Amino acid sequence: MGSSHSTLSQRKAEISQVVNGCILVSSRVVLDSPPDIARRLRNGIAYGHSIVFEKNLALWPLDFNVVSEIKQEKQLIYKQTGGPRHWEFTASILPYRGEKQTALLLCIGNKVGHDELRTTIACNTGNEALLILEVEIE
């Protein structure tokens, strides 16, 4: 079975795509309090970048390697992820289960008014998806 690759890009508060034909994965930026999706990011405010795996509809576990990168410099940074513009984790999703991982994201400036959170989701089946979440910065 060959691998497939798909890319989805959107400028909105959340982006979702079906990966491997059986699990919906979402990328979103959330406010800490109340836990809500952020529409526009502001300098000096902390947010969360969440990757959400909805219910795995396959009858077997799926393993994912997830890598998120921030496109621009000196606007957004990850904290406690091993690098200011890089966040990586693995997830093993059992059948009929889901998972959410969230990294601390700080808005530290506004150079161009927007930025991109580029998330590559690679499944152990060989399928891969690229979610590009474009965020506005005030």
Q: What value does the mean pLDDT of the chain take? A: 88
Domains in the chain, number: 1
* pLDDT beyond 50 at 43: yes
> What is the domain range of residue 90?
5-137
In DSSP terms, 11 is beta-bridged to: 134
* pLDDT beyond 80 at 66: yes
How far does CA 102 lie from the centroid of its chain? Answer: 9
Q: What is the pTM of this model?
A: 0.87
Note the pLDDT tens digit of each residue in 82-120. Answer: 889 999 999 999 999 999 999 999 999 988 899 999 999
Alpha-carbon span 7 to 17, nearest angstrom: 9
Note the pLDDT tens digit of each residue in 18-37. Answer: 999 999 999 999 987 666 88
CATH number for the domain that contains residue 78: 2.60.40.10
Q: What angle do CA 27, 33, 36 make, to 5 degrees?
A: 35
3-state secondary structure at position 27:
strand
Tokens of 96: 């009929």
